[in-house]
Every structure is written in C-alpha cells, then in structure tokens.
C-alpha cells in the first residue's frame, strides 16, 4: 500500500509531462493538409511523419471508373484554376494536373493520386478513413480496390454523408467498418437529436458516427450514442480547447488538419 502511495505521489510531482496521452485516435484531415496540399500522397506521407494514427481522404470516381483522391467535384480550386469535373474526366486527363503548387513551390508537380497509389503508402499499424463523395454507384469499384490492396478491413474504414453509401458498404462487406458523417452545425434548424442519429445509424448498420465537433455535442448526446454501442469520431478540430473537450467526452477519434500539433496540445 505504501509503495503504491509513493508511486502515485511521484507521478503527481513529475507534472504534466509524465501523464500519458489520452487514448484518442488522431486522424489527419485530407492528410496533413495544414502543411501539405490536401488529398495528395505528399499530405498522406506527412501525416505519418507527424505521428497521425490515421489519415482521412476523399474519393471520386472518374469517367473511366478509376478512383482518385479529390474533395471537390472539380479541380478548379486545387489545380491552379484548371477546371475539370472529376466524373466527366478520364484518369489520363486528370493525371497531368498539378495539384501541389497552390500550396507552395516545394509541392509543385504533385499529382492527383489514385486510391491504389495512396493505399500503397499506408504503413503497418496505421489506418485510413476513406470518405466517399459520390453516391453508392462507386461502392463496387471501391470494394474491388480494397480487395486488391489486401489491407485488413479494420485499417480501411469507410465514411460518407450519404447514408445509402454506408448501407451499401455494410450489405456487401459487413466486416468493413463504416461510419456515417453528419454535420451538427445547421443554420436554419436545430441539429438532429442523438436519438434520431442512432436510429438511422442502426437502420443502415453503421458501426458509428462521425460528427462535426459542435457545441451541440455534449455529455448527454455522447451518452446516447455510446449506449447504442456506436463508435464516435469528430471533425475537423484545429482548436486545442475544443479537442480537449472532445477528449473529455470520450470520443474515439479526432480529425484535424494538424495532427502533430494537436497531439502535442493534448499532451500538455
């Protein structure tokens, strides 16, 4: 008993540096997108360098049914004004675009990567959250790509705002984790209740929810989700105080543009 008391006292005297980091998964939003061009191999690799536990990125289906990383439906914002609609362009047409220079000259020449190229740089023990931007029509192609990559299902969770995508994934691959994305910051109406989200998540067989880190997400809201046996992730957190509040609520993971920085803030 005395030995335990002394140990506890020593830990307290050692200060914050001796306290273990909170058990929350740090997910790099579109890769380490604060420092590198979003949804590129460079951003995903930098996420690993910044000690992210996982990287999140967005996918679209091209005209010739190839899967590429891109957040917007077109390339105007990230390709220096060159505007090609992803769904209306072939992989060859897209592969020549520079989507790195807008972030800085050191990233000049960075290309739109395919899903296969991105999955190939995922180190052992790391995960990727694959956000599906189109509808369920992409799911068969996505599942083929995942099968070819041969990564364990637990390392490639799928996320989507479209509930039909989640339902399609869980119907075809029940063992593949899938989380339903929902924004709680609604302008003209009250956010959905936790009970409403739980009911829909159960209907589509989602493994969890991935919610905006809104003030609406409080202890009662979180308890309802947890009581339903659902995982809970939040996005996109670049504020240390908000992140610490989310940790206090017991979320499973936090998506951020700055994974390295946020981990340091949470350790303070």
Q: Which residues form the catalytic set?
A: 29, 71
| Continuous H helices in the chain | 2-14, 41-49, 91-95, 115-119, 139-149, 163-172, 194-203, 219-227, 240-249, 259-266
Q: What distance in Å separates the CA atoms of residue 70 and residue 80, rounded to the nearest whole number?
A: 14
Measured CA to CA, the distance from residue 172 to residue 144 in angstroms comes to 11
Pairwise CA distance, residues 141 & 158, whole Å? 13
Beta pairing, strands 54-61 & 127-132: parallel
What secondary structure does DSSP assign to 75-95, as a single string? Answer: STTTTTT---BGGGS-HHHHH
User: End-to-end distance of the chain based on CA atoms, in angstroms?
Assistant: 30
Phi-psi bin for 229: left (phi > 0), alpha (psi -120 to 50), beta? left
Report the distance separating Cα 225 and Cα 211, nearest Å.
Answer: 11
Q: What are phi and psi of 134, to 5 degrees?
A: -80, -165
Beta bridge partners of 256: 28
């Amino acid at each position: 008993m005395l030995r335990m008391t002394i140990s506890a006292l020593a830990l307290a005297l050692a200060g914050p540096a001796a306290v273990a980091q909170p058990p929350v998964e740090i997910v790099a939003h579109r890769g380490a997108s604060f420092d590198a061009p979003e949804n590129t191999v460079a951003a995903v690799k930098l996420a690993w360098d910044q000690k992210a536990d996982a990287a999140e990125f967005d996918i679209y289906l091209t005209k010739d049914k190839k899967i590429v990383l891109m957040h917007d439906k077109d390339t105007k914002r990230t390709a220096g004004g060159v505007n090609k609609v992803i769904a209306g362009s072939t992989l060859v047409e897209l592969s020549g675009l520079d989507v790195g220079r807008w972030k800085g000259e050191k990233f000049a020449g960075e290309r739109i990567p395919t899903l296969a190229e991105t999955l190939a740089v995922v180190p052992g023990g790391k995960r990727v959250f694959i956000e599906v931007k189109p509808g369920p029509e992409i799911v068969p192609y996505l599942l083929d790509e995942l099968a070819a990559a041969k990564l364990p299902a637990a390392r490639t969770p799928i996320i989507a705002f479209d509930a039909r995508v989640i339902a399609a994934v869980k119907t075809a691959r029940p063992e593949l984790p899938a989380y339903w994305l929902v924004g709680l910051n609604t302008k003209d109406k009250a956010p959905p209740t936790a009970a409403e989200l739980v009911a829909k998540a159960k209907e589509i067989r989602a493994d969890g929810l991935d919610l905006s880190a809104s003030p609406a997400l409080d202890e009662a809201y979180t308890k309802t989700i947890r009581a339903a046996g659902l995982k809970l992730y939040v996005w996109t957190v670049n504020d240390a105080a908000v992140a610490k509040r989310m940790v206090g609520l017991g979320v499973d993971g936090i998506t951020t543009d700055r994974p390295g920085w946020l981990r340091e803030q949470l350790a303070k």
